[in-house]
Structure 1
Amino acid sequence: MNRIYRHQRYIYDLTRKYYLLGRDQLIASLKPAAGDAILEIGCGTGRNLIAVARRYPATPLSGFDISTAMLETARHALDRNGLPRVTVAQADATRFSPEQFGRKGFERIYISYTLSMIPDWQAVLERAAAALEPGGRLLIVDFGQQEGLPRWFKRALFAWLARFHVHPIAALPAALANLASRGDLQLRTRDLYRGYAFYAELERPHSSARLSPLPRSN
């Protein structure tokens, strides 16, 4: 990740705003209650963290990324915006635990255009679901399968994304449905922009115990 983003981080936010669609809708849907803690998985340059911090100024907020280069950019951005209350750290999305942030769990966790960059994205979902507090929600937005758009557009987009090691996940809706059924979670999904993006929410009922993540295969 450091090799990929060593130089891209300087123009990342400027270029990505035109095609990472649905991020602001996700942020608006977080709607934390007073005292709820929020975690971003794959916080990158800190763009989303800053937007969340501005929208929910009283909310404990943390984020992590595996790339130290991206985290350096995120920390500078947070400092420029006067947001010392936002905590960022280096962590692997397939192995993280809330204890790394001094918590037992989070009331809100969100993943914005990160799953499609991680080969073992199933492990990320398992970890995120396990880190939800009762009553908590996991919100996800990522590339969809472009069902409502021309085939040439899908081919061109997917080929371009592959150059950046991004691979939209056709199996994501089914994997979320399976995770919801195993963990007694409530799942809501919808396609955005004619299938350009896929949006999902997993909610843990207050009466539900946390789901332990499945063991990782070697």
Structure 2
Amino acid sequence: MSTADSPVHAQLMDGVYRHQRHIYDLTRKFYLLGRDRLIDGLAVPPGGTVLELGCGTGRNLALAARRYPDARLFGLDISRVMLETAQRRMRRGTMGMAAFLAEGDASAFEARALFGRPHFDRVFLSYALSMIPPWQRTVAAALDCTAPGGALHIVDFGRQENLPGWFRAGLRRWLAAFHVSPRDSLREVLESECAKRGANLSFDSPFGGYAVHAVITLPGRGDVNPPSRRAP
């Protein structure tokens, strides 16, 4: 998908979530596993900045606001209707306007133009890569706006390699109906990005491979070409 295709994908996502957004958080909690673990593991530094790509209804940002009350929060989503729901959550919740939300394509965006800053201490994607066609570009864009010494956190659907074949086949058929495709080559893409950037990768496949949880930590400004490390 090229940048020119972004409006088409935005319309698709608006159509998918125009009505689902009202019950999204209630229903997704049963199968979007590992989201709370990701938030707990962000370890945001005091006064740090956090960007969620594909922030949807703002559920994760609201949780991050409670977990890290002095953090500065930012969210990006391509769906205008999901952002409307997120904005309402911000206004009625304990977050107030602590999160700055912007409409944009996670695979091609200018952080400084949208948010007034080029980098963030923590960037995360929660079950978003599986819905973004140019997901490899999204990984690169997320790392481009991660500050030196910062980290990119990802949770999404895995390969389900340790689950029964019938479960895997049924899950993937069901996900496809919602335009969701698990990224089976995610680990290889993350390893490639780490090699380019001298970054460290931690990669886990919890729940029998149902989900993946990955963290890429970038070298700090004072580091000179540190060797990349891959988790077993």
- Asked whether 1:14 is paired with 2:19, we answer no
Partner of 1:38 in structure 2? 50
CA distance, structure 2, for counterparts of residue 118 and residue 89 of structure 1: 17
Counterpart code for 1:190:
D
Which of 86, 105, 112 lines up with 2:99 in the alignment?
Answer: 86
CA distance, structure 2, for counterparts of residue 33 and residue 178 of structure 1: 27
1:14-163 equivalence runs, <5 A: 14-83=26-95, 84-99=97-112, 100-163=114-177
CA deviation map 1:86-112 (0-9, x unaligned): 111101101122202111200000000
Consecutive aligned runs of 4 or more in structure 1 exceeding 6 Å deviation: none
Counterpart code for 1:193:
F
CA distance, structure 2, for counterparts of residue 205 and residue 32 of structure 1: 16
Counterpart code for 1:75:
Q
**Number of equivalences:** 209
The percent of aligned pairs where both chains have the same amino acid is 47
Counterpart code for 2:100:
T
CA deviation map 1:138-168 (0-9, x unaligned): 0000000111110000000000000000000
Structure 1 unaligned regions, length at least 5: 210-218
CA distance, structure 1, for counterparts of residue 83 and residue 72 of structure 2: 18
* Distance apart, 1:208 and its partner CA: 5.1
Partner of 2:193 in structure 1? 179
Counterpart code for 2:104:
A
C-alpha contact (below 8 Å) 1:134/1:208 kept by paired residues: no
Partner of 2:9 in structure 1? none
Q: Secondary structure at the match of 2:208?
A: coil
CA distance, structure 1, for counterparts of residue 110 and residue 68 of structure 2: 24
CA distance, structure 1, for counterparts of residue 122 and residue 214 of structure 2: 13
Instruction: Report the TM-score when normalising by structure 2.
Output: 0.88
Moved more, 199-208 or 145-154: 199-208
C-alpha contact (below 8 Å) 1:140/1:200 kept by paired residues: yes
CA distance, structure 2, for counterparts of residue 103 and residue 77 of structure 1: 24
Structure 2 unaligned regions, length at least 5: 1-12, 225-232
Instruction: Report the TM-score when normalising by structure 1.
Output: 0.94
Q: Secondary structure at the match of 1:194?
A: helix
CA deviation map 1:44-92 (0-9, x unaligned): 0010010000110000000010000000000001111032111111011
CA distance, structure 2, for counterparts of residue 208 and residue 140 of structure 1: 24
